[in-house]
């Protein structure tokens, strides 16, 4: 299994973290921006309001002429920088001021209307935004007071620019940091996963890498390694037990067999009746030995040891060969045995054990399917591996018995009459498991279908 | 007349027994000596067998084949030694790995049969040591470890064949025979011929009495295996290993059916059958019955 970086907890966490950072930075900088902007406008508005009031006072004291003089004075001499004034009659015709014409279409509706003035400054044309207020004087004339707000605008623009960049950069930084973290994490977890897979595949001597950083991963690796050491030790003991059991059981069988063989080869030859009974005893010894071998093979397959050095096996080819091997026997029993296979259908594994698996399945069908029946071995390539199916139209196994059928020493039907130990399917299960395969018994309607998915 | 087997047994004295066969009738001859030692037994046996061959003038004298058996299980060893001697081999027995390695290093044996698990020196270590000293004597490994990988490890260590205990004695004999007759150059032959059966290995065609036979690819492989070992007994497991590369025993009588198909193709319409069944052992391809 390959670890998908985008499907890790670390990645999801860092995406969340990035979103959170973006949100926090946006709220902080955004509110600062909005606050600053409103502070600037409020100050402008206050100035305009104050001037408006003083001009209205002037009008009350010395009429339109007084206001006009005052405005001209302010424009010419001591007016504040960026101040805009205008007095117009009721028809919006300019009476005086530093604006050439009435800037609005009639009377503006807003309280703080804004407009633009184009000026010619040395070398360039400039457009200055102006924020203003308009009052109708008691005579029906109009008074406009405004302020060039281009500086405030520039400040606000800069502030906005800085805010947006700030948000963008912090998001980017958070995302990069998150990606980096999740990459690092995924890599270490991936290393652990890969090592574990190797170990499960039979490389029992392998251990998780310890980086020496003394971090939580090292702590984990050390504990896992300790568990593995313990398992290894047990597997070693188990293996030694197998070996000595195999030896201790086979040696007496061997002596028994050798003695009986010696009797058969004796000269002068034995009486035919004695000869025959020794031969039948020999057959029992052989049967006992086969059962023992199968048991030991199951135990060995369960230990994972035979896959220490896996090779590429073409299961399609192997199935075809075995079907060809068994076809004459099936024919002699009045059965059809066929193979439908795709080749190459490559699996990493042990050829002998996979052959044993197929053999057991075929022999199982040969044992239970009555004459005239049909057995089919099919090998298909799947996306991530190979699917092996052995199906027949024999009596099959009832749904409720299927899980029991995979256990050792279980036989169905006229079992007493059948040869065999009842271990065949258990060995199949053990070999499939050794190859990290998935085994399923299905109804072939009628009959039995054994499906095995093997990863490539 | 032919000598079937000559054997010697050391009890209180020495019994040397010879069995000869003439027109289906077996004759036993016995020689008894009183010195209870192995070397005199061997000397008597070889003298006796020479005499038998001289009496049976016409066939050349062949020196007996010398086999070293390294086996710590004394009872099993006793029967194996007896069986092998009765089959005409001269057998020396070493009861542990150290002695086995010493004897094997002498380099004077035609074949070594060794157990895998031995006291002092392991069977595979003996082979490795021998091969390191460039002693090329063929070795047959006997083992109570029957795992697929055990077998591969045994062959990798330099063993020439591997037999899992318990085995039929006939199986052991057939394999010993096969190892002794193995000719490294025979793989370069382009044509195999037994009587009027001819196998052209280049064109993969088979003719019996000049008539071309139609055989499947697998039947060709099976026939080639038998013809390369013409005159030798080939067991079912040897066929499964050699022709199908299967190193376990399926339960069904698979090989018998394949052989009978091949036999039909080869021997049908001929008054001289070439493929013979050897009861309790296997098959042999040869001209005479």
CA atoms in the 13 A half-sphere facing the CB of B39: 0
pLDDT confidence tier of residue A379, bands split at 50, 70 and 90 = very high
Helix A216-264 vs helix A272-303: crossing angle, to nearest 10: 170
What confidence score (pLDDT) does residue B181 get? 83
Measured from the Cβ of residue B219, the count of other Cβ atoms closer than 10 Å reads: 19
Backbone angles phi, psi at A146, to 5 degrees: -140, 175
| Judgement on whether residues B151 and B237 belong to the same structural domain of the protein | no
Task: Tell which residue, A141, A145, A143, A142, has the closest CA to residue A132.
Answer: A145
CA angle A430, A431, A435 (to 5 degrees): 115
Residue A361: pLDDT above 90? Answer: yes
Mean pLDDT of B42-71: 64
Residue A142 bridge partners (DSSP)? A88, A136
What confidence score (pLDDT) does residue A307 get? 66
What confidence score (pLDDT) does residue B24 get? 53
What confidence score (pLDDT) does residue B52 get? 54
Measured from the Cβ of residue A115, the count of other Cβ atoms closer than 10 Å reads: 17
Enumerate the residues of chain A whose CB falls inside 8 A of the CB of residue B117. 243, 247
Residue B229 lies inside a defined structural domain of this protein:
yes
Q: How would you classify the pairing of strands B25-33 and B14-22?
A: antiparallel
What confidence score (pLDDT) does residue A391 get? 93
What three-state secondary structure class fits B92? strand
Give the H/E segment covering residue A218: helix A216-264
Please give the Cα distance from A55 to A73 (Å, whole number).
Answer: 12
What three-state secondary structure class fits A279? helix
Task: Tell which residue, B278, B277, B260, B258, has the closest CA to residue B268.
Answer: B260
Residue B39 lies inside a defined structural domain of this protein:
yes
% of chain A beyond a pLDDT of 90: 20
Q: Do A254 and B244 touch (CB under 8 A)?
A: no
| Judgement on whether residues B222 and B118 belong to the same structural domain of the protein | no
Please give the Cα distance from A352 to B32 (Å, whole number).
Answer: 51
pLDDT confidence tier of residue B47, bands split at 50, 70 and 90 = low
What confidence score (pLDDT) does residue A1 get? 47
Residue A417: pLDDT above 50? Answer: no
pTM: 0.63
Q: Do A366 and B247 touch (CB under 8 A)?
A: no
Residue B61 lies inside a defined structural domain of this protein:
no
Q: Do B251 and A420 touch (CB under 8 A)?
A: yes
pLDDT confidence tier of residue B17, bands split at 50, 70 and 90 = low
Low-confidence winner among A243-247, A395-399, B110-114, B162-166 (lowest mean pLDDT): A243-247
CA distance A196 to chain B (A): 23
Could you list the beta-strand ranges (E) of A1-65.
none
pLDDT confidence tier of residue A356, bands split at 50, 70 and 90 = very high
Tokens of B20: 């000869």
Phi-psi region of A273 (alpha: psi -120 to 50; beta: other; left: phi over 0): alpha
Model confidence over A104-147: pLDDT tens digits? 888 888 888 888 888 777 777 778 888 999 988 888 888 999 88
Model confidence over A162-211: pLDDT tens digits? 889 988 998 899 889 888 888 888 888 888 888 888 777 667 778 888 87
Higher pLDDT, A402 or B74: B74
Q: How far is CA B219 from the centre of its chain?
A: 24
Residue B196 lies inside a defined structural domain of this protein:
yes
CATH number at B262 reads: 1.10.10.10
What confidence score (pLDDT) does residue B57 get? 41
| Judgement on whether residues B192 and B172 belong to the same structural domain of the protein | no
Tokens of A436: 């990290």
Task: Tell which residue, B64, B99, B68, B63, has the closest CA to residue B81.
Answer: B68
Please spell the DSSP secondary structure of B118-149, one letter per residue.
-SSS-HHHHHHHHHHTT----EEEEES---HH
Residue with tokens 């330099």: B158
- Cross-chain CB nearest to B218 (options A324, A352, A420): A324
Give the H/E segment covering residue A59: helix A9-73
Task: Tell which residue, B202, B92, B169, has the closest CA to residue B137.
Answer: B92
* B119, B147, B180 - which closes a domain: B180
| Long-range pairs, A349-352, Cβ under 8 A, ≥24 | A349/A307, A349/A310, A349/A311, A349/A313, A349/A434, A349/A435, A349/A454, A350/A306, A350/A307, A350/A310, A350/A311, A350/A313, A350/A434, A350/A435, A350/B148, A351/A311, A351/A313, A351/A318, A351/B245, A352/B148, A352/B246, A352/B247, A352/B248
| Judgement on whether residues B49 and B107 belong to the same structural domain of the protein | no
| Judgement on whether residues B117 and B35 belong to the same structural domain of the protein | no
Contacts of A219 (CB under 8 A, 6+ apart): none
Residue B110: pLDDT above 50? Answer: yes
Please spell the DSSP secondary structure of A428-451, one letter per residue.
HHHHHHHTT-EEEEEE-SSSEEEE
Cα dist from A59 to A48, A64, A143, whole Å = 16, 6, 10
Model confidence over A423-436: pLDDT tens digits? 888 889 989 988 88
| Judgement on whether residues B48 and B71 belong to the same structural domain of the protein | no
CA distance A298 to chain B (A): 10
Please spell the DSSP secondary structure of A387-430, one letter per residue.
EEEEEE-SS---GGGHHHHTSTT---SSGGGS-S-S-HHHHHHH
Phi-psi region of A177 (alpha: psi -120 to 50; beta: other; left: phi over 0): alpha
Task: Tell me which of B30, B80, B83, B166 to substitute to probe the interface with A (most A C-beta atoms closer than 10 Å).
Answer: B166
The residues of B whose Cβ lies within 8 A of any Cβ of A are: 19, 26, 28, 73, 75-76, 79-80, 82-83, 86-87, 117, 144-149, 164-170, 218, 244-254, 257-258, 261, 280
CA distance B51 to chain A (A): 21
Model confidence over B184-224: pLDDT tens digits? 556 677 888 888 899 999 999 999 988 899 999 999 999 99
| Judgement on whether residues B131 and B169 belong to the same structural domain of the protein | yes
Task: Tell me which of B250, B255, B256, B260 to substitute to probe the interface with A (most A C-beta atoms closer than 10 Å).
Answer: B250
CATH number at B118 reads: 3.40.50.2300
State the complex-level ipTM: 0.74
| Judgement on whether residues B72 and B51 belong to the same structural domain of the protein | no
* B150, B180, B210 - which closes a domain: B180
| Judgement on whether residues B192 and B218 belong to the same structural domain of the protein | yes
Backbone angles phi, psi at A93, to 5 degrees: -90, 135
What confidence score (pLDDT) does residue A308 get? 64
Task: Tell which residue, B224, B112, B92, has the closest CA to residue B159.
Answer: B112
Residue with tokens 């086999």: B67
CA B234, B237, B241, B245 torsion-angle sign = positive
Residue B11: pLDDT above 60? Answer: no
Residue B60 lies inside a defined structural domain of this protein:
no
Task: Tell which residue, B70, B58, B65, B61, has the closest CA to residue B94.
Answer: B70
Please spell the DSSP secondary structure of A99-117, one letter per residue.
SSS--SSSS-SSSS-EEEE
Task: Report the number of distinct structural domains present in chain B.
Answer: 3
A-B contacts (CB, under 8 Å)? 118
Enumerate the residues of chain B whose CB falls inside 8 A of the CB of residue A290. 249, 251
Q: Do A332 and B257 touch (CB under 8 A)?
A: yes
Model confidence over A61-82: pLDDT tens digits? 988 888 888 888 888 765 567 8
Low-confidence winner among A192-196, A299-303, A419-423, B117-121 (lowest mean pLDDT): A419-423
Backbone angles phi, psi at B199, to 5 degrees: -125, 115
Q: Which domain holds residue B80?
A: 66-180
Helix A9-73 vs helix A150-200: crossing angle, to nearest 10: 180
Contacts of A288 (CB under 8 A, 6+ apart): A253
Mean pLDDT of B79-101: 90
Enumerate the residues of chain A whose CB falls inside 8 A of the CB of residue B145. 243, 246-247
pLDDT confidence tier of residue A326, bands split at 50, 70 and 90 = very high
What confidence score (pLDDT) does residue B27 get? 57
* B180, B212, B243 - which closes a domain: B180
Q: Round the average pLDDT of chain A to a whole number and report it.
A: 85
What confidence score (pLDDT) does residue A386 get? 94
Mean pLDDT of A263-280: 85
Q: Do A251 and B76 touch (CB under 8 A)?
A: yes
- Cross-chain CB nearest to B73 (options A251, A308, A420): A251
Contacts of B171 (CB under 8 A, 6+ apart): B163, B235, B237, B281
What confidence score (pLDDT) does residue A263 get? 83
| Judgement on whether residues B200 and B135 belong to the same structural domain of the protein | no
| Judgement on whether residues B171 and B192 belong to the same structural domain of the protein | no
What confidence score (pLDDT) does residue A306 get? 66
Q: Do A328 and B73 touch (CB under 8 A)?
A: no
Model confidence over A363-377: pLDDT tens digits? 989 988 999 999 999
pLDDT confidence tier of residue B260, bands split at 50, 70 and 90 = very high
Mean pLDDT of B157-183: 87
Residue B41: pLDDT above 70? Answer: no
Mean pLDDT of B115-143: 90
pLDDT confidence tier of residue B58, bands split at 50, 70 and 90 = very low
Enumerate the residues of chain B whose CB falls inside 8 A of the CB of residue A258. 76, 79-80, 83, 166, 169
Contacts of B182 (CB under 8 A, 6+ apart): B138, B160
| Judgement on whether residues B191 and B141 belong to the same structural domain of the protein | no
Please give the Cα distance from A172 to A176 (Å, whole number).
Answer: 6
Please give the Cα distance from A206 to A202 (Å, whole number).
Answer: 9
């Amino acid at each position: 299994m390959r670890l998908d970086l985008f499907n890790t907890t670390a990645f999801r966490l860092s995406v969340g973290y990035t979103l959170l950072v973006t949100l926090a930075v946006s709220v902080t900088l955004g509110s600062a921006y909005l606050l600053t902007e409103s502070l600037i406008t409020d100050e402008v508005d206050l100035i305009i309001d104050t001037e408006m009031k003083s001009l209205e006072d002037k009008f009350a004291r010395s009429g339109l002429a007084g206001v006009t003089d005052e405005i001209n004075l302010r424009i010419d001499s001591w007016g504040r920088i960026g101040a805009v004034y205008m007095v117009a009659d009721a028809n919006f015709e300019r009476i005086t001021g530093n604006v050439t014409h009435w800037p609005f279409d009639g009377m503006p509706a807003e309280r703080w209307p804004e407009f633009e003035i184009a000026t010619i400054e040395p070398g360039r044309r400039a457009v200055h935004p102006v924020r203003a207020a308009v009052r109708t004087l008691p005579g029906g004339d109009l008074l406009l007071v405004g302020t060039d707000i281009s500086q405030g605008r520039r400040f606000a623009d800069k502030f906005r620019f800085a805010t947006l960049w700030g948000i963008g950069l912090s998001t980017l930084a958070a995302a990069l940091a998150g990606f980096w973290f999740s990459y690092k994490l995924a890599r270490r977890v991936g290393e652990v996963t890969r090592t574990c897979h190797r170990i499960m595949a039979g490389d029992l001597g392998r251990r998780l890498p310890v980086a020496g950083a003394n971090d939580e991963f090292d702590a984990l690796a050390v504990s896992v390694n300790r568990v593995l050491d313990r398992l290894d030790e047990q597997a070693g003991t188990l293996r030694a037990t197998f070996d000595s059991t195999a030896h201790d059981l086979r040696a007496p069988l061997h002596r028994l067999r050798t003695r009986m063989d010696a009797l058969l080869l004796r000269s002068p030859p034995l009486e035919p009746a004695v000869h025959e009974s020794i031969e039948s005893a020999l057959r029992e010894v052989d049967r006992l030995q086969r059962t023992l071998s199968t048991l030991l093979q199951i135990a060995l397959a369960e230990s994972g040891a035979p896959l220490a050095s896996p090779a590429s096996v073409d299961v399609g080819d192997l199935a075809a060969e075995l079907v060809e091997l068994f076809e004459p026997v099936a024919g002699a029993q009045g059965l059809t045995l066929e193979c439908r296979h795709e080749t190459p259908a490559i699996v990493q594994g042990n050829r002998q054990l996979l052959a044993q698996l197929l053999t057991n399945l075929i022999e199982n069908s040969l044992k239970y399917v009555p004459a005239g029946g049909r057995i089919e071995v099919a090998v298909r390539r799947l996306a991530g591996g190979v699917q092996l199916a052995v199906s027949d139209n024999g009596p099959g196994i009832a749904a409720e018995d299927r899980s029991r059928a995979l256990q050792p020493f279980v036989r169905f039907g006229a079992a007493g009459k059948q040869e065999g130990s009842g271990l065949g399917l258990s060995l199949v299960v053990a070999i499939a498991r050794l190859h990290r395969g998935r085994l399923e018994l299905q109804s072939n309607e009628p009959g039995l279908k054994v499906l095995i998915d093997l990863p490539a | 007349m032919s000598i079937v087997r000559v054997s010697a047994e050391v009890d209180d004295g020495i019994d040397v027994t010879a069995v000869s066969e003439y027109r289906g009738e077996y004759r036993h001859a016995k020689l008894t000596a009183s010195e209870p030692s192995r070397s005199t037994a061997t000397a008597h046996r070889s003298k006796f067998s020479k005499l038998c061959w001289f009496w049976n003038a016409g066939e050349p004298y062949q020196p007996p084949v010398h086999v070293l058996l390294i086996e710590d299980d004394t009872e099993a060893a006793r029967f194996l030694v007896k069986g092998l001697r009765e089959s005409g081999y001269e057998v020396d027995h070493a009861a542990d790995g150290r002695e086995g390695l010493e004897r094997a290093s002498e380099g004077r044996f035609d074949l070594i049969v060794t157990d895998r698990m031995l006291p002092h020196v392991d069977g595979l270590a003996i082979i490795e040591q021998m091969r390191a000293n460039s002693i090329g004597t063929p070795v047959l490994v006997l083992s109570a470890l029957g795992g697929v990988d055990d077998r591969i490890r045994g062959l990798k260590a330099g063993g020439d064949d591997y037999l899992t205990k318990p085995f039929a004695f006939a199986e052991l004999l057939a394999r010993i025979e096969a190892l002794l007759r193995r000719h490294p150059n025979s793989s370069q032959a382009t044509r195999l011929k037994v009587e009027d059966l001819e196998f052209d290995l280049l064109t993969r065609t088979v003719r019996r009495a000049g008539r071309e036979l139609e055989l499947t690819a697998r039947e060709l492989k099976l026939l080639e295996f038998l013809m390369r070992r013409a005159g030798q007994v080939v067991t079912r497991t040897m066929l499964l290993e050699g022709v199908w590369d299967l190193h376990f025993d399926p339960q069904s009588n698979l090989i018998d059916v394949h052989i009978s198909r091949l036999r039909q193709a080869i021997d049908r319409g001929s008054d001289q059958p070439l493929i013979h069944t050897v009861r309790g052992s296997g098959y042999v391809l040869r001209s005479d019955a």
